């Protein structure tokens, strides 16, 4: 179908410009290093935005790899490389801010209680 | 004759659009999981949980309209057997305590890789206990 006849794409939330979240995380990390720790709310909001960007990029990477496997186009490979690089930068920025603020409580890393009774 | 296991149905609740959409997209790639709906806030989560009765609800804790713990209480009032996992950046012991007091059956920080989120979902849906090795090790230490 020609591009002009295609139905409009469903509106999807747009990711912020590349690495905007990583830059924000790095800025907060710098404040921590400089002895001016930001308020907890600011840290949590930056982490929330960072993890949101992270899962979006991971989902994009899965799609890009799937595309690349079928099309094997050079542009796809470049796209995958750029995504991987941004993911690495973002993960590093998230880990850095986590380590400079409060360490997660042990149980916060993940648990599920067994069900008391069946549904 | 083959027996078909039905997919585990999830409701993803988070006020960050990118997180909700990104996570739902990742979960869609796993066999046996089905994200039946997404809610952008606590009130919407309460409504959708009552309508759709998902097997597992992934619940953010900090949301502007109705907090995760408040939404969890409201959902459990209508369906005491609902399985709700807190999925959040909030990582302090007091956050875990508040969420557990509200009635969540599980807790996971967003730092966790998606494979761990899937493991938690499967455990919650089957009624099993689950503890991330990192959490178990920290508890033992």
ipTM associated with this complex: 0.92
Question: Is residue A94 a part of any domain in this protein?
Answer: yes
- Say if B50 is an interface residue toward chain A (CB within 8 Å): no
Say whether pLDDT at A78 is over 90.
no
Kindly provide the b/e burial profile for residues B80-112, where b requires at least 16 CB atoms within 10 angstroms of the residue's own CB: eebbbbbbbbbbeeebbebbbebebbbbbbbbb
Residue in the structure block whose two tokens are 């899937």: B118
Question: Is residue A87 a part of any domain in this protein?
Answer: yes
Q: Which two tokens stand for residue B116?
A: 């761990």
Say whether pLDDT at A7 is over 50.
no
Contact assignment for A56 to B21 by CB distance below 8 Å:
yes
Chain A residues contacting B via beta carbons under 8 Å: 12-13, 15, 44, 47-49, 51-59, 62-63, 94, 98, 102-115, 117-119
Q: Give the structural domain span for A78.
A: 17-100
Cβ atoms within 10 Å, residue A15: 18
Please tell me the distance from the alpha carbon of residue A112 to that of residue A88, in angstroms, as a whole number. Answer: 29
Confidence of residue B43 (pLDDT cuts 50, 70, 90): very high
pLDDT of residue B137: 75
Contact assignment for B130 to A112 by CB distance below 8 Å:
yes
Question: Is residue A113 a part of any domain in this protein?
Answer: no
Say whether pLDDT at B74 is over 50.
yes
Where in chain B are the domains? 8-140
Say whether pLDDT at B40 is over 90.
yes
pLDDT tens-digit profile of A11-66? 445 444 557 999 999 999 999 999 999 999 999 999 999 999 999 999 999 988 88
Question: Is residue A47 a part of any domain in this protein?
Answer: yes
Contact B20, B44 (CB under 8 A): no
Mean pLDDT, residues B22-39 taken together: 97
Say whether pLDDT at A8 is over 60.
no
pLDDT of residue A79: 76
Tell me the whole-structure pTM to 2 decimals.
0.87
Contact assignment for A108 to B107 by CB distance below 8 Å:
yes
Q: Nearest CB to B124: which of A15, A58, A112?
A: A112
Q: Which residue has better confidence, A8 or A63?
A: A63
At the topology level, CATH places domain B8-140 in: Rossmann fold (3.40.50)
Which residues of A1-119 form beta strands (DSSP E)?
A: 111-112
pLDDT of residue A59: 95
Q: How many domains does chain A have?
A: 1
Question: Is residue A105 a part of any domain in this protein?
Answer: no
Q: CA of B130: which chain A residue's CA is closest? A: A112
> Where is mean pLDDT largest: A5-9, A16-20, A23-27, B136-140?
A23-27
CA trace torsion B116, B122, B123, B127 (10° rounding): 160
Q: Provide the pairing of β-strand B33-39 with B106-109.
A: unpaired
pLDDT of residue A73: 56
Q: Which two tokens stand for residue A43?
A: 């840290």
């Amino acid at each position: 179908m020609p591009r002009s006849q295609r139905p409009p794409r469903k509106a999807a939330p747009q990711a912020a410009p590349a690495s905007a979240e990583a830059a924000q995380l790095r800025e907060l990390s710098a404040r921590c290093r400089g002895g001016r720790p930001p308020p907890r709310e600011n840290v949590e909001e930056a982490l929330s935005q960072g993890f949101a960007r992270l899962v979006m990029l991971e989902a994009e990477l899965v799609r890009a790899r799937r595309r690349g496997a079928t099309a094997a186009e050079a542009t796809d490979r470049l796209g995958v490389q750029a995504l991987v690089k941004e993911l690495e930068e973002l993960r590093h920025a998230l880990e850095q801010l986590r380590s400079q603020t409060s360490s997660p409580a042990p149980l916060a890393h993940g648990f599920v209680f067994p069900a008391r009774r069946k549904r | 004759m083959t027996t078909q296991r039905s997919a585990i149905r999830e409701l993803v609740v988070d006020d960050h659009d990118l997180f909700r959409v990104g996570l739902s997209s990742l979960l869609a790639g796993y066999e046996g999981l089905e994200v039946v709906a997404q809610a952008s806030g606590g009130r919407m989560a309460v409504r959708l949980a009552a309508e759709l009765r998902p097997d597992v609800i992934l619940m953010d804790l900090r949301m502007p309209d109705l907090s995760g713990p408040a939404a969890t209480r409201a959902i459990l009032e209508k369906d005491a057997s609902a399985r709700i996992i807190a999925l959040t950046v909030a990582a302090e012991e007091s956050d875990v305590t508040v969420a557990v007091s509200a009635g969540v059956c599980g807790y996971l920080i967003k730092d966790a890789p998606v494979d761990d989120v899937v493991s938690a979902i499967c455990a919650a849906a089957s009624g099993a206990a689950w503890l991330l090795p990192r959490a178990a090790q920290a508890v033992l230490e």
